[in-house]
């Protein structure tokens, strides 16, 4: 990995450290994000929620978490373009680490919901800041490998969350996440700011202007398109996997699947998928071709989930692995988001886009809640899935190809 010409003063060690910190930060980010899905049932049971209220209360807390991601995505994104990538990278890690500790101490549902919101705000900043930093310090022909490392290592946090959350007490699992994040802050002193960002500081360039994304029709089209391309990933995780116990039972599985095992299977597949999608985009020299390949695979895996997964518990978990593998295009998705816009808006876009994708779980679960009454749990989930896949296909067609694009420019 080597820096672009104007950041030659960064040593290879500093570049590798930046990639490492971004990757480990995303690892802890995903650990916390997925941990709630793993410990949802035991934590809610410990707080006195009856079995018939598990799904409803679980949806409520998940929506608080995702709402925090939406708010945090906007706040951290603007701060990243106004004050720098590093301030957001470490500020977000500190926020979600403290929130993790406090989540392990909750004694009532309202406090739990409030802390999931705070955790969501913290989780919103790390990925966008990390991907923006890595994209700007690496050469154009190699940045896809750097962002792939960040995404692949980060996704492994979901695997660890599933393993830890399924083996230790749910409070202990939250404490572990908080400790990991705080330990990571010790590496902050060796990481340097992006040269592209420093070059536009104090130069009269308007930075972090969220309204600039809607003032231009072409800019707004790019922004919405890159968001909709990523939504199927969180349909798979936020509905099919998070609510796999209820959906598995509705499909006829007895005993019903365990959320921790479904998440472990899915995130094992996601880790492989992210590595594969990043490598494919580099080898094909095309972000769009890689995204198209994995969207087709996602459609096929969703079909298997509803059409074949109910044959046995083993088959169900195998389909969860395939679902993770096929939706493992997060690395290419976030790289494409970073490459779509200029330096003065890049952190805003790269931070808000993945969080709007994650936050899309809120309208998706609300829509699913409305549909499962008249249609049933399985049919309602299937209709939501068909809708997000159709939107993603149209969005991909509208996206610009960005492989090898020079990122050293600003938006007018």
Q: What is the pLDDT of residues 217-229, one digit of tens each?
A: 888 999 999 999 9
In a domain, 133, yes or no: yes
Give the tens place of pLDDT for each residue, 176-214: 998 888 888 877 767 787 788 788 776 667 777 777 888
- The count of domains in the chain is 1
Query: How many angstroms separate the CA atoms of 261 and 266, rounded?
Result: 9
**The predicted structure's pLDDT at residue 8:** 45
Q: Is residue 296 within 8 Å of residue 271, measured between CB atoms?
A: no
In a domain, 408, yes or no: no
**The predicted structure's pLDDT at residue 65:** 86
In a domain, 73, yes or no: yes
**The predicted structure's pLDDT at residue 243:** 84
**The predicted structure's pLDDT at residue 2:** 43
Query: How many angstroms separate the CA atoms of 229 and 353, rounded?
Result: 10
* Paired tokens of 266: 């899915």
In a domain, 200, yes or no: no
In a domain, 1, yes or no: no
In a domain, 288, yes or no: yes
**The predicted structure's pLDDT at residue 3:** 45
Whole-angstrom CA distances from 375 to 58, 92, 367 are 21, 40, 12
**DSSP-assigned letter for residue 104:** T
> Residue 235's domain is classified under what CATH number?
1.20.1250.20
Q: Is residue 49 within 8 Å of residue 338, measured between CB atoms?
A: no
**The predicted structure's pLDDT at residue 128:** 84
Residues of the chain falling short of pLDDT 50: 1-8
**The predicted structure's pLDDT at residue 203:** 67
Q: Where in the sequence is the domain holding 55, given as residue range(s)?
A: 8-187+210-398
Entry pTM:
0.83
In a domain, 289, yes or no: yes
**The predicted structure's pLDDT at residue 70:** 85
**The predicted structure's pLDDT at residue 7:** 45
């Amino acid at each position: 990995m080597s820096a672009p010409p104007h950041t030659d003063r960064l040593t290879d060690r500093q570049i590798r450290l930046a990639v490492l910190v971004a990757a480990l930060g995303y690892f802890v980010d995903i650990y916390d994000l997925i941990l709630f899905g793993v410990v949802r049932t035991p934590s809610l049971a410990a707080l006195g929620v009856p079995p018939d209220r598990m799904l409803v209360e679980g949806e409520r807390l998940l929506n608080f978490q995702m709402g925090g991601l939406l708010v945090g995505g906007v706040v951290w994104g603007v701060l990243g373009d106004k004050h720098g990538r590093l301030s957001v990278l470490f500020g977000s890690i500190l926020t979600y680490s403290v929130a993790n500790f406090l989540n392990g101490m909750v004694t009532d549902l309202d406090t739990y919901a409030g802390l999931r919101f705070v955790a969501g705000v913290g989780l919103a900043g790390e990925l966008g800041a990390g991907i923006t930093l890595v994209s700007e310090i690496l050469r154009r022909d190699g940045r896809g490998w750097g962002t792939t490392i960040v995404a692949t290592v980060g996704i492994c946090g979901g695997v660890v969350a599933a393993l830890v959350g399924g083996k230790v007490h749910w409070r202990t699992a939250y404490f572990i996440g908080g400790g990991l994040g705080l330990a990571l802050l010790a590496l902050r002193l060796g990481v340097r700011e992006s040269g592209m960002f420093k070059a536009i500081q104090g130069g009269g360039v308007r930075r972090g202007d969220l309204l600039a994304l809607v003032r231009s029709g072409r800019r707004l089209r790019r922004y919405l398109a890159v968001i909709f391309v990523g939504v199927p990933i969180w349909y798979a995780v936020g509905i099919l996997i998070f609510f796999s116990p209820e959906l598995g039972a509705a499909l006829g599985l007895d005993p019903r699947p365990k959320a921790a095992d479904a998440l472990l299977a899915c995130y094992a597949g996601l880790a492989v998928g992210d590595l594969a999608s990043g490598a494919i985009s580099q080898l094909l020299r095309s972000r769009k071709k890689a995204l198209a390949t994995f969207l087709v695979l996602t459609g096929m895996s969703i079909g298997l989930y509803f059409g074949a997964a109910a044959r046995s518990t083993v088959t169900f978990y195998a389909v969860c692995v395939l679902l993770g593998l096929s939706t493992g295009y997060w690395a290419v998705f976030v790289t494409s988001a970073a490459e779509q816009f200029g330096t003065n808006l890049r952190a805003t876009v790269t931070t808000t886009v993945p969080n709007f994708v994650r936050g899309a779980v809120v309208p998706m679960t609300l829509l699913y809640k409305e549909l499962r009454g008249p249609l049933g749990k399985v049919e309602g989930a299937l209709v939501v899935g068909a809708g997000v896949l159709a939107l993603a296909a149209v969005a991909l067609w509208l996206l610009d190809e960005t492989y090898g694009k020079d990122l050293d420019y600003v938006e007018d």
